[in-house]
Amino acid sequence: MRLVTPTPYPDRASARDQWILDRRPERNAVDPRRPYGFFVEQERTATGELVPIATILLTNRECPWRCLMCDLWRNTLIESVPSGTIPEQIDYALPRLASARHIKLYNSGSFFDPHAIPPEDYQAIADRVSSFERVIVESHPSLVGDRCLRFRDLLSGQLEVAMGLETVHPEALERLNKRMTLDQFAAAAERLGTNSIDLRVFILVQPPFTPREEALHWAERSLDFAFDCGATATTLIATRAGNGATDPLLQNGDFVPPDLRTVEQALDYGIQRNRASVFQDRVLPGRVFPCRVFVDLWDIERVAACPACRPQRIARIAAMNRSQSLAAEVPCEICGGAIAR
């Protein structure tokens, strides 16, 4: 393991928040009474069904953590929203969405942050999502506590909590300014499992301070860790540039965004390990997949790739997202489809 050339990025954790804030561009103008996005997509479940999942991107106060790679703050507010606003946003989105069985309530931060989602709104939110079989929210591991259990008890469906693991590269994780250790993540995951709450894990492919030639290795080790923590789903995210804070790192080589082939090979590994786990009696009763592995297709067209085979590779990734099985390799006379190891 090695880190590349030192950067102007602060060594002291206490100085990193301001360094990141100083380099941000303007945030987007958003309406506190409307979600900033909503849509329905198909996702393979742990039992093997392909079901429609509604996603509502809630407008609320920015996350208190200033993660180096984050760009989700662009669609957040400076102040907390009043009580009743989040249920109003859900009321706006639901009639405009096609029918779905599961719902994601994503808020660009932590659902259990009381400054983002007022706890007094939990009952109203639970009432509005009572028809869904599964409710998926996001949280920083440090906020998986009593509020999480309280919200679980109000739901008629299964609660699933998505947590950002990002990477198990120890030095890179510390420098991302997430203020979380692997032990803390594992403890939060155990707390979820003990309380019958499913775990979804977000993993960054090639985050800052990860050498390019080691990117696939660390994505694979991060998937291993998520599997070992009992995740029922993992999502691989190609680390994006352009949030302001990553710009100096791009300039001096401390951050190189991943190429599409690296992302594709990480998905291949995750699905292969998932399949192998089925034959090791690790799958729970009624489940076909011990842990589904997806690639986040948001802005996937921006990921560096060979122009000759880019469309076919994106189509292959999308097909594997849906099927949770390996698809035929994409040959390419231009790039050769080389594995980025």
pLDDT at 14: 86
Handedness of CA 201, 205, 209, 215 (dihedral sign): positive
Could you give the CA distance from residue 200 to residue 219 in angstroms, rounded to a whole number?
A: 16
Give the residues of the chain that fall short of pLDDT 70.
Answer: 1-7, 276-285, 338-341
pLDDT at 4: 45
pLDDT at 5: 47
Tell me the pLDDT tens digit for each residue of 54-77: 999 999 999 999 999 999 999 999
pLDDT at 341: 35
**Residue 292 · residue 270 · CB < 8 Å:** no
pLDDT at 2: 46
Burial class (CB in 10 A: 0-12, 13-18, 19+), 150: middle
pLDDT at 338: 54
Pairing of strands 134-138, 158-166: parallel
φ, ψ dihedrals at 332, nearest 5°: -150, 125
Compute how many other C-beta atoms are within 10 angstroms of the C-beta atom of residue 287: 16
Pairing of strands 233-238, 198-205: parallel
Burial class (CB in 10 A: 0-12, 13-18, 19+), 135: buried
Q: Enter the pTM of the model.
A: 0.94
Tell me the pLDDT tens digit for each residue of 203-255: 999 999 999 999 999 999 999 999 999 999 999 999 999 999 999 999 999 99
Residue 310, Cα to own-chain centre: how many angstroms? 23
